[in-house]
Chains A and B, each alone.
Chain A
Amino acid sequence: MEQKLLIVAGVDIGAATVKAVILDGSKVLSFSIMPTGHSVTQAGESVIRKALENGGLSFNDLEYIVSTGYGRRAVSFTNKAVTEIICHAAGVSSVISQARTIIDIGGQDSKVIGLDDNGNVANFVMNDKCAAGTGRFLEVMAKVLDVEIGEMGPISLMSKDPCQMSSTCTIFAESEMVSLRAEGRSREDLLAGVHKAMSRRVAIMGKSVGFRKEVVFTGGVAKNVGIKKALEDEIGLEILIPEEPQITGALGAAILAKAELSKLGAR
């Protein structure tokens, strides 16, 4: 007799995007990423439906769902809500088992997570009060410089003389950027300066946790090669990026869903 698949899902309801991962055993069947939009409840449901659709599945196929992210409690269809810090640790450890430090930069917050040798959270620090050091900072700067978010990294790597940005506040940094632009600084130098300033913020924040190899970079901002380089320069270590850095939280949630299901099965 064919054994019934134990399909679980993890959904990460972030400030800027929602992500869902469908897992069968240890295998990722499908995933989906969408903008959060105005309703976290709606976005959470849409992203999980899309991920199911991508895998040729329906809601009824799911045995257990874990939600994470700042909107983790806003959705009613989940069995358990777990913080994104715990989920990122589980997700990253599953794809890079040697990971000991995670830098996660999302749309609205940034975190540095220290892992123990078993991949569990040993320490963490988080910034979600100030937009500096988050994806929002990059969005504001991209708008000022009229650059697509996806182009920021490659353009910044062409810089020969990155600008020095002293402001630690996004709003003040925007004004500073406008002044530097008026001075005639190149777009490459301006973007490299933005990345350097942001990386410095994250590196300083993470110092209390410490950066231990392997350092893994996740979140939407991890797709920016300019930030990756600037962060490597700041912390003096090579940084690894998972194939899909945006879904590690959702992946971790799915892995925890599987663990919860196993616990229930064991009872």
Chain B
Amino acid sequence: MANYYDGLLKLCGFEDDEIGTEGPRIEKAFQKLELVSEDMKTAEKRITKYHDMELSGVRKLIRAWLLELTDLVLARDEGKKVVYYGYPSIQGPGMAMKVASKQEIYVGCPDVVLCHTLGNLFGKLTPILETAEQNGLPPGHGLCSLQQVRNGGLAKGIIPVPDLVTGSSYYCDMGSKADELLQEVYGHKAIYVDGSMDSKWGEYPDYLPQRVEFLGAQLNKMFATVKELLGVEMTNESQDKAMATSRRLFRALGELTRLMMADPMPISGVEEEMALNLTAASTGRSITEGPDAVETLCQELRERVDKGVGVVEKGAPRVLNFANSFSDPDITQMMEDVGLAMSISITTVATPREYIDCAITYSTMGEQRAQRAMIDGFYHSSFGIAKRIEAAVKALNVDGVIWNYQFNCRPLSITSHLVKKWVEETTGVPTLSLESDLYEGRNYSAAALRTRVETFAEMLRARKAFAGA
């Protein structure tokens, strides 16, 4: 007899025999998530509307997200230790923890998983947010919705109470406060990875060694605590192993980013975002399912590129964007609908070589990660971000920049003005500072943002036409 979720799973690339084996797990997760038959229909409609389901790679990607959601929801029931990290996280430690663990362990960022699944696929994030609003993160206080997602997920009992949380407080002050609140309510352990965000305008790519030493000490403290609490020893070897484990996925993502630069852009930025953020959310399915999904997608996109098939007009203005919405694909689609090739996310642009080749090296694992975070620029300072965007604009020869910043994120919203001014002055490329919400859809709709984006697209087209005349 058919199950109420069979149609959705088939749509998302699950084979019949797999539905037989994975179905009961997924059903159990769906029950916890209060996803009923009606939600399957909604999800099917949303997925068909927002995703390119003709492509096997896209189906595999969505399948990976659904499996990651299932793993998250059932982690405790399946006897795993559970570790959550915050977003944005310092790249590396989560995966290193996963590969170093000798026991079954779930390591991931539930906030990002829920945004991409309950938000993007099911359009059902609001009940989670409202639950958080009744549980210590009230509405109208300008609180980051990403923190509300985790809070609501725990309060509703749909994600397990973790054994350990490693905070993202090195970049986000609200993350540590939200973790503190949850720690008080649920009694789990939390490690706060604090950093010092102070840096002079104009300093990057130089940095104060003290900043690396401080953040490095915080990370080393985290590694020690993980060993003490979970018996997981993260070493240089496990870091290297983590890097090796992720290499295939990152190689495929690099190829995806290159293919997205084709003219016309071969696929919506919605899919690129789903692929890229799998790495931010997951240390599980991103590795087991991610590489094959992204490689399949790349193969299909190569065929599209060869045939000159795209989702926006050939010659459409190319825009470097900060990030696409995690949970509301309507916004990215609107940007493409007005004729912008939105394929490039700043998070995928490689750090320029001259920034990486720096003299100071550190001996401890924590300091090495901290130094890397500093070199990348995003943690360094607003100037670091501005310089990275300037370099990317010049290297990729884009027509415009959209800095669609999270309105209630202090580092990002303050940076918005500086980035716009700097990029326009140093590159001459128009920059749209777009106040938005990357994580939920209640504050900004595609319709509300459309006039700004459409005008920006018109501006860029006029500039391109003028330059070509």
**Chain A residues near B (Cβ < 8 Å):** 70, 82-86, 120-124, 126, 128-129, 208
Can you report 19 residue pairs joining A to B where beta carbons are below 8 Å apart? A70-B451, A82-B458, A83-B451, A84-B451, A85-B455, A86-B458, A120-B459, A120-B462, A121-B458, A121-B459, A122-B430, A122-B459, A123-B430, A124-B452, A124-B455, A128-B448, A128-B451, A129-B444, A208-B417
Contacts of A208 in B (CB 8 A): 417, 420-421, 433
Q: Count the B residues whose beta carbon is within 8 Å of the partner chain — how many?
A: 15
Contacts of A129 in B (CB 8 A): 435, 444, 448
Residue of B nearest to A89 (CB): B455
Contacts of B452 in A (CB 8 A): 124, 126
Given A83-B451, A121-B458, A121-B459; 8 other pairs, CB 8 A cutoff: A83-B458, A85-B455, A86-B455, A86-B458, A120-B459, A129-B448, A208-B417, A208-B433
Contacts of B459 in A (CB 8 A): 120-122
CA of A38 to CA of B462, assembled, Å: 35
Encoded as 1 (CB less than 8 Å from any A CB) or 0, chain B from 382 to 417 comes to 000000000000000000000000000000000001
CB-contact partner of A83 in B417, B444, B455, B462, under 8 A: B455
Contacts of A70 in B (CB 8 A): 451
Encoded as 1 (CB less than 8 Å from any A CB) or 0, chain B from 444 to 469 comes to 10001001101100110010000000
Q: Please tell me if the beta carbons of B435 and A85 are within 8 angstroms of each other in the complex.
A: no
Q: Please tell me if the beta carbons of A85 and B420 are within 8 angstroms of each other in the complex.
A: no
Q: How many whole Å from A46's CB to the nearest CB in chain B?
A: 23
Q: How many whole Å from A125's CB to the nearest CB in chain B?
A: 8
CA of A120 to CA of B467, assembled, Å: 14
CA of A84 to CA of B417, assembled, Å: 24
CA of A61 to CA of B113, assembled, Å: 57
Q: Please tell me if the beta carbons of B451 and A85 are within 8 angstroms of each other in the complex.
A: yes
Contacts of B417 in A (CB 8 A): 208
CB-contact partner of B454 in A83, A122, A123, A128, under 8 A: A83
Q: Please tell me if the beta carbons of B458 and A126 are within 8 angstroms of each other in the complex.
A: no
CA of A66 to CA of B355, assembled, Å: 50
Contacts of B433 in A (CB 8 A): 208
**Chain B residues near A (Cβ < 8 Å):** 417, 420-421, 430, 433, 435, 444, 448, 451-452, 454-455, 458-459, 462
Contacts of B421 in A (CB 8 A): 208
Name which of A83, A84, A86, A128 has the most chain B CB atoms within 10 A of its CB: A83
CA of A84 to CA of B452, assembled, Å: 10
CA of A84 to CA of B454, assembled, Å: 10
CA of A213 to CA of B454, assembled, Å: 26
Contacts of A126 in B (CB 8 A): 451-452
Residue of B nearest to A84 (CB): B451
Contacts of A85 in B (CB 8 A): 451, 455
Name which of B433, B451, B454, B459 has the most chain A CB atoms within 10 A of its CB: B451
Residue of A nearest to B458 (CB): A86
Contacts of B420 in A (CB 8 A): 208
Residue of B nearest to A109 (CB): B451
CA of A126 to CA of B435, assembled, Å: 10
CA of A209 to CA of B454, assembled, Å: 18
Contacts of B458 in A (CB 8 A): 82-83, 86, 121
Contacts of B451 in A (CB 8 A): 70, 83-85, 126, 128
CA of A85 to CA of B432, assembled, Å: 14
CA of A128 to CA of B421, assembled, Å: 22
Residue of A nearest to B407 (CB): A129
Contacts of A84 in B (CB 8 A): 451
Contacts of B455 in A (CB 8 A): 83, 85-86, 121, 124
CA of A70 to CA of B449, assembled, Å: 11
Residue of A nearest to B456 (CB): A124
CA of A122 to CA of B459, assembled, Å: 7
Contacts of A123 in B (CB 8 A): 430
Residue of A nearest to B447 (CB): A70
Name which of B430, B435, B459, B462 has the most chain A CB atoms within 10 A of its CB: B459
CA of A181 to CA of B315, assembled, Å: 59
CA of A128 to CA of B459, assembled, Å: 20
Residue of A nearest to B420 (CB): A208
Q: How many whole Å from B168's CB to the nearest CB in chain A?
A: 27
CA of A123 to CA of B429, assembled, Å: 11
Contacts of A86 in B (CB 8 A): 455, 458
CA of A202 to CA of B309, assembled, Å: 44
Residue of B nearest to A128 (CB): B448
CA of A70 to CA of B444, assembled, Å: 15
CA of A86 to CA of B461, assembled, Å: 12
Q: How many whole Å from A207's CB to the nearest CB in chain B?
A: 9
CA of A82 to CA of B454, assembled, Å: 8
CA of A188 to CA of B124, assembled, Å: 51
Contacts of A122 in B (CB 8 A): 430, 459
Q: How many whole Å from A103's CB to the nearest CB in chain B?
A: 16
Q: How many whole Å from B346's CB to the nearest CB in chain A?
A: 20
CA of A38 to CA of B254, assembled, Å: 50
CA of A122 to CA of B452, assembled, Å: 13
Q: How many whole Å from B413's CB to the nearest CB in chain A?
A: 13
Q: How many whole Å from B91's CB to the nearest CB in chain A?
A: 33
CA of A84 to CA of B450, assembled, Å: 11
Q: How many whole Å from A16's CB to the nearest CB in chain B?
A: 16
Contacts of B444 in A (CB 8 A): 129
CA of A122 to CA of B448, assembled, Å: 21
Residue of B nearest to A82 (CB): B458
CA of A46 to CA of B462, assembled, Å: 33
Contacts of A128 in B (CB 8 A): 448, 451
CA of A84 to CA of B421, assembled, Å: 24
Q: How many whole Å from A11's CB to the nearest CB in chain B?
A: 16
Residue of A nearest to B431 (CB): A123
